[in-house]
Structures are given as C-alpha cells and as structure tokens.
Amino acid sequence: MSSQPDKTIEALLLEKRQFPPRKSFQEQANVRDPSIYRKADRDFEKFWAGFARELTWYKPWKRVLEWKPPKAKWFLGGKLNASVNCIDRHVLGPRKNKAALIWEGEPGDQRLLTYRELLREVGKFGNVLKSLGVRKGDRVTLYMPMIPELPIAMLACARIGAIHSVVFGGFSAESLKDRINDQGAKVLVTADGGWRRGNVVPLKKISDDALSDTPTIEAVVVVKRTGQPVGFDPKRDRWWHELMAGASARCPPEKMDAEDPLYILYTSGTTGKPKGILHTTGGYLVGTYATTKWVFDLKDEDVFWCTADIGWVTGHSYVVYGPLANGATCLIYEGAPDTPARDRFWDLVERHGVTVLYTAPTAIRAFMKWGTEWPEKHDLSSLRLLGTVGEPINPEAWIWYQKNIGGGRCPVVDTWWQTETGMILITPLPGLTRTRPGSATFPFPGVRATILDPAGREVKVGGGYLAITRPWPAMLRTIWGDEERYVSTYWTKWSRDVYFPGDGAKRDKDGYFWLLGRVDDVMNVAGHRIGTMEVESALVDHSAVAESAVVGISDDLKGTAIAAFVILKEKKSGPPAAGLHDELRGHVAKKIGAIAKPDKLFFVADLPKTRSGKIMRRLLRDIAEGRVLGDTTTLADSAVVDTLKAQYEEKEA
C-alpha cells in the first residue's frame, strides 16, 4: 500500500534507466517476434487456443470462450486432466526420467523425483484419497510444509477430480478451521511439523485445534516430516507412509470438463471474511502454461526456482502447474533464506545450478540489507533470468537484484498478477521488452489492461485505477459459495465487463505500467495480502478491546507494516495492564497467524472519524508514520487527532 501515492508517482517518473534485452538472450528466447502483441490482440481467442493445442485433451473444445459478463467459460466442451498434463504427457516422451522436482529440506536433506516417480507417487496418493471416500468434486484441505508431498497431494486431487485447497502453513488454527468449514472439506492432509529457522512448526497440533469444530472432516492424513511426537486419533488420523505403502500406483485420471473446478485458494478482502477464489481446469492450465513458457523463457535444460510457498497463488501457478505443464525441472526449498546462514538461497542456486529464479521484493530488500558478501560467496553464473512478484519493487531493489544476483547479464521480469487472475497479466517478455526498473511494463499478449479514473474514463498518461478490460483464461470463476460477492467485489466498480483488481497504477507516455499498490483496505505485508478488517476483528475479539483501527504503513523491509490503534473497554480504562500490548499482538497471531501480527500497536482514547462515521485511515497512517497531519477539516472531533498525535509522540520518545 502506497501511503504517499503522489510522491511515488513522482519518484517513478524520474526513473529513466532502461534495459533492452541483450542480443545473446534475445537470439535464444522463446518469443522474439514483436508482432505477437498485435496478432494476439487482433484475435485473442485464437492466440489462447494456440497454447491450448500444445496441451493434452481427451476431447477438444467446441468454443474457446463464452463471455456473459461477468461470467466467463473457456474451452467449452473440452475435456482434460491437469495431472496428466503436468506428468503423464512428459512420461510418454523423452522427459520420463527427467527430474521434475528437486527438493531440499531446511536441515539439508534432499529428494529428487523424476517425472516417472512423480507419476507413481501421485497415482498412489490418488488411490489413497479414493480409499478415504474422496470423490470428484469433494474438497480436500492441504495444510502442509514445503515438502514434495504437497505438490503430490495437489496433483493427486487433480487426478481424481477432487478440489484442493491449500492453506498456508503459517495460518492459525482458527484460520484453518474457517477455511475447512467454508469449503466443507472431507479430508485434511497435514504433517507432524515443518522446519522453519531450525524450529518445528507444529502443524498437526494446530490441525488438532482446528478440527475441534469441523463436522465435514472424515479423515486426516499425516506426513511424518519432523518426527516429533504428535497426538493421534486412531479413528480419524492416518499416517501418509502407511497408506501409501499399500496403495497401487495405477490411478486412471478423471476426465474433467474444462470448467470443472481445480482448486480454491483463500485471499484477503476488505471485509473480515477471506474469499475462496475458485479456479477451474482448462483455462487455468492454459494460462499458467503459456505465461511460464514465455515470461520465464523456459527450456528443457532449465532449473526453475520459484521461491514462493505453495500456500500462496504464486506457488500454485509457478511452482506446480505452470512449470510442470512445461515439463520443467523445479527446485523446491522448505525453509528460511537465512538458515543456517544468510547465503542459503545462493548456496542453493550454486549447488543445484538454478537458471531461472523467481522471488519477491520483500526478499530482495532483505538481501540488500544483509549485504553483497552473501551472494559474493557463491558462483551464480548458472542464472540467466530473474523474476519478481508480490508487490511493487522499488527501482533501487530492482537494480540491486539485476546487478548483484543477475551479474548484470540476466533480464529481470517484474510480473504483476493476483490470486484472482491465476496467471501473470502484466509483465515484460524477456527477449522483447526494454525494461524499466520499477515497471511491470506491458500486458501479456492477448491481455487488455488500462488505467481508469473513478468515473471509468481512460487515463492515457498518468495515475488511476488498474482495470482489466478483456477476459483471460486463468481468471477466477467465482468466490466459493458467494457469487454475489464475486460480482460486487470485482465487476461493479465501472461496468460488468471490466475487472477491478483493487490496485492503483500509472501509465507513462510510452505506455509502460507502473503498479502503485492497493487502493482498498487490503495491506500487502511482505507480499502477502491481509485485510485491515481481518486484523481489526481479531483485536476486537479480545475481551479488553472495544474498538480498533488498523492501517498499513511504509516499511523498508516488508513494504508495508501493520499499525493498530486500539481503544480499550471502559471498565478497563486507566493505563493498560502491563503486558497487554504484547498480549494483543499475540492474540492476532493466534486468530489469524503470525503474518498478521501488528508491528506497532497504540492504545488510544478515540479514533478520528468523518462525520459519517468512517475511520480516517489516511490520518492514522500519517500519525503512525510520524508525518505532519493532513487535512483534518472533515473530522467530527479534531481534538481526537491532537490527542492521538500527542500519545504517538510520547510513545516514540
């Protein structure tokens, strides 16, 4: 979230550095014909159908697109299976013994799965799920660390037609429970724990807490990862390795309709409840396949490493479906970038010969802070392309990445997209685009994006709201169980055929897009979306709290940090009890997960509100960031702000 949009726009306007693709890269690039933009734009259905034809279908589609705004169907009548496209079709050819997944755990243990081996594991787990009563259309929740069993479980669901829903391992028991109940999941797959900075994340214990009130769950499958003792309910719980030992590897894939659901993934919205974003099979696979091939210039010799956790959409699209559909070799790493030391990523790149690296600005800023001595210890010459995603990247971080990680020779692709879009929508093409640090450059071929003002008028040059004005194959189809919210959140800002992503953006005179962050009440903390409302609800849930307001504030490392203003209940007035400050931060972590824990928390007597009762978040941000107060003339009681400001200054002193 950019708290000073004007300043950001000015800074970006001054960014004049340009990086044309190097000749040596261009000559070998998967796409190097600039006319592709024009061709794709002229007939985008034909363009996408071209990629679809590179995949394996049981039955071809009858129609590429049916667009009844805001409802789209892609590849109507087509039948396919996502796991077949990610595995079987490679096993049938020369890739059968190629490494599909190279995995490294945080403690340093390693596993390599060829496409053939992956097929066997996926087939076995598909049969395990069936033996537990999972059928086509049933939901399976995956709450797991970054271990090979996670993509195996996802692909096994896809194979038998079950809908998977991965819940990031950093979420709390409450968050897990809410998601399980929202989707009515039949089976939960988890692990005894996972490694993070040398500690065990107790996933099974958290699952047990979550499962106290999840009536639809019939069975829990537990991967033994860390080996620490866990509670085990013999009626409900099963060990992964025991079930797999008895399972057949032959698991005929379900013939799925292109529009059959593939997965649900939750993301934060402006109201309290996370939204279950629903993706379907055909269009999603085509979109992730195409963007992986062109944006990451993927070749058979590449070792592709997307560092995102599979619990987020980036991991779904660019650790699992996109790269595997391309027959790539993917590196997966379980743990933290600073364990055992701050060169873990560079050690991984060197040892595994990573060629394409896709990571997030928040990580790049941390690397910058740690200093160049860490990457300098390693030979990073295998790298040939770098990517970034998750939040706006500051030009300085972009340059640092290009120079110190890419050795000045690798193109950098800054890719803009969302959980909802399923695939990259705004991005350079590394063999074609002259990049500018901080700009995601242009819409992917076939995609139409623009900038609109609040009234829906196009902004040719300048700032406004980002809008996507044409359907794309991997687009979300609905919010699970809440069609109305789907329509109202994304398709009513202007008209029902224009998608509203909730991001501010600017277009320069050369048509480059510069993304400026969220314009709604969603914070982007270290690349993860958290609704201000979610944190506020968690705070108010504590018995001492009467009201709260949460804002995102600028943070050098995380991009955005969380600041919470808390009003305590009357009877508790007087100075807040010692320890309450930390207790409340801990309470949020318990309710949502550690990622949502407020970085700053202030006790206040009142909150600045407009006459209509809306909390003035801009003002709170100014206060929390220690800036001069903005215009306060619309405040119902301006004394409130003075008190707030005084308290803030006292706290900081």
| Site of interaction with ligand WTA (CB under 6 A) | 267, 312-314, 389-392, 414-419, 440, 501-503, 515, 517-518, 524, 529
**Whole-angstrom distance, CA of residue 539 vs CA of residue 535:** 6
Task: Please say which residue, 102 or 313, places its beta carbon nearer to ligand WTA.
Answer: 313
With the C-alpha atoms ordered 639, 645, 648, 653, is the resulting torsion angle positive or negative?
negative
Nearest distance in Å: CB 595, ligand WTA: 12
Dig out the tokens for 438 from the structure: 């901080």
Task: Please say which residue, 326 or 419, places its beta carbon nearer to ligand WTA.
Answer: 419
Nearest distance in Å: CB 427, ligand WTA: 8
Task: Please say which residue, 261 or 361, places its beta carbon nearer to ligand WTA.
Answer: 361
Nearest distance in Å: CB 414, ligand WTA: 5
Give Dmax over CA atoms of the chain in angstroms.
Answer: 73
Nearest distance in Å: CB 314, ligand WTA: 5
**Whole-angstrom distance, CA of residue 351 vs CA of residue 348:** 5
**Whole-angstrom distance, CA of residue 270 vs CA of residue 534:** 8
Residue 530 contacts residue 541 (beta carbons within 8 Å): no
Task: Please say which residue, 255 or 493, places its beta carbon nearer to ligand WTA.
Answer: 493
Task: Please say which residue, 260 or 391, places its beta carbon nearer to ligand WTA.
Answer: 391
Nearest distance in Å: CB 269, ligand WTA: 11
**Whole-angstrom distance, CA of residue 102 vs CA of residue 369:** 29
Nearest distance in Å: CB 89, ligand WTA: 26
Task: Please say which residue, 158 or 530, places its beta carbon nearer to ligand WTA.
Answer: 530
CA dihedral 70, 74, 79, 80 (to 10 degrees): -100
Q: Is the peptide bond before 340 cis (omega within 30 degrees of 0)?
A: yes
Distances (CA, A) of 188 to 158, 238, 279, 320, 454: 15, 10, 20, 20, 43
> Is residue 86 packed enough to be buried (19+ CB in 10 Å), middle (13-18) or exposed (0-12)?
buried
Dig out the tokens for 134 from the structure: 């999972």
Nearest distance in Å: CB 419, ligand WTA: 3
Nearest distance in Å: CB 76, ligand WTA: 27
Nearest distance in Å: CB 465, ligand WTA: 11
Residues paired with 154 in a beta bridge: none
Task: Please say which residue, 151 or 390, places its beta carbon nearer to ligand WTA.
Answer: 390
DSSP annotation of 458 reads B
Q: How many residues does the chain have?
A: 653
Q: Would you tell me how many other CB atoms lie within 10 Å of the CB of residue 493?
A: 17
Task: Please say which residue, 267 or 489, places its beta carbon nearer to ligand WTA.
Answer: 267
Nearest distance in Å: CB 143, ligand WTA: 18
CB contact burial 427-462 (16+ within 10 A = b; e otherwise): bbbbbbbebbbbbbbbbbbbbebbbbeeeeeebeee
Task: Please say which residue, 127 or 524, places its beta carbon nearer to ligand WTA.
Answer: 524
Q: Would you tell me how many other CB atoms lie within 10 Å of the CB of residue 60?
A: 13
Dig out the tokens for 484 from the structure: 């109305």
Nearest distance in Å: CB 234, ligand WTA: 38
Task: Please say which residue, 132 or 426, places its beta carbon nearer to ligand WTA.
Answer: 426
Distances (CA, A) of 235 to 124, 218, 219, 232, 238: 22, 9, 8, 9, 8
Nearest distance in Å: CB 252, ligand WTA: 34
**Which of left, alpha, beta for 353 (phi over 0: left; psi -120 to 50: alpha)?**
left
CB contact burial 564-597 (16+ within 10 A = b; e otherwise): bbbbbeeeeeeeeeeebbeebbebbbbbbbebbb
Looking up tokens 């590429």, which residue turns up?
A: 64
SS3 636: coil
Task: Please say which residue, 51 or 465, places its beta carbon nearer to ligand WTA.
Answer: 465
Supply angle C-alpha 271, 277, 283, rounded to 5. 150
Task: Please say which residue, 230 or 466, places its beta carbon nearer to ligand WTA.
Answer: 466
Nearest distance in Å: CB 478, ligand WTA: 16
Task: Please say which residue, 313 or 644, places its beta carbon nearer to ligand WTA.
Answer: 313
